[in-house]
Amino acid sequence: MARLLTLFTAALAMFSVFVADPANANDRYGKQKVVYHINYDGGEGGKKYQAALRNVQNHIDAVGKDNIELHIVMHGDGVYLLRDAVKDLKLQGNISNLKVQGVVFNVCANTLKGRKIDPDKDLFEVFKDDIVPSGVAELAYLEGKGFSYIKP
């Protein structure tokens, strides 16, 4: 009987190694540096933007906000995420919530200039420090600093 109990305990311990424990997700994933790349239109009702922001939040939830350094780099049509947020309260809420968790939103200066977008008037909560000279160059720069690239 003791041997059967020992085998059962060992089997249970091995099984627990293979089953994900959400409470230990931080241990599984460790510290991460990630850059999300958005350069596309949000589609009808901004559904693509909402989905991308949901992916970012799920990522933070899995790793833990204290274990992740996360940037969202926007250029081209991706800048319209922040333009659409000016009138979309749900987008505003999601963006603000991510910023509170430490997510950095980077906006391409080339896109702003080329499309004649005034960040102070046309975009939601974009500050001088959020604007980078080039969106694509920023992606390469962050990858060079060890950031993993994700295109949601």
Low-confidence ranges of the chain (pLDDT < 70): 1-26
pLDDT digits 0-9 by tens, 119-130:
999 999 999 999
Which residues are bridge partners to 34 per DSSP?
70, 148
pLDDT at 13: 43
pLDDT at 7: 40
Task: Quote the CA–CA distance of 136 and 86 in Å, as a whole number.
Answer: 24
**Could you state, in order of their start, the residue ranges of all structural domains in the chain?**
30-150
pLDDT at 5: 42
pLDDT at 68: 97
| DSSP secondary structure string for all residues of 110-148 | HHHHHTT--HHHHSSS--GGGEES-HHHHHHHHHHTTPE
Give the sign of the dihedral formed by CA 43, CA 45, CA 46, CA 48.
negative
Assign domain 30-150 to its CATH superfamily: DsrEFH-like (3.40.1260.10)
State the helix-helix crossing angle for 47-63 and 89-100, rounded to 10 degrees: 20
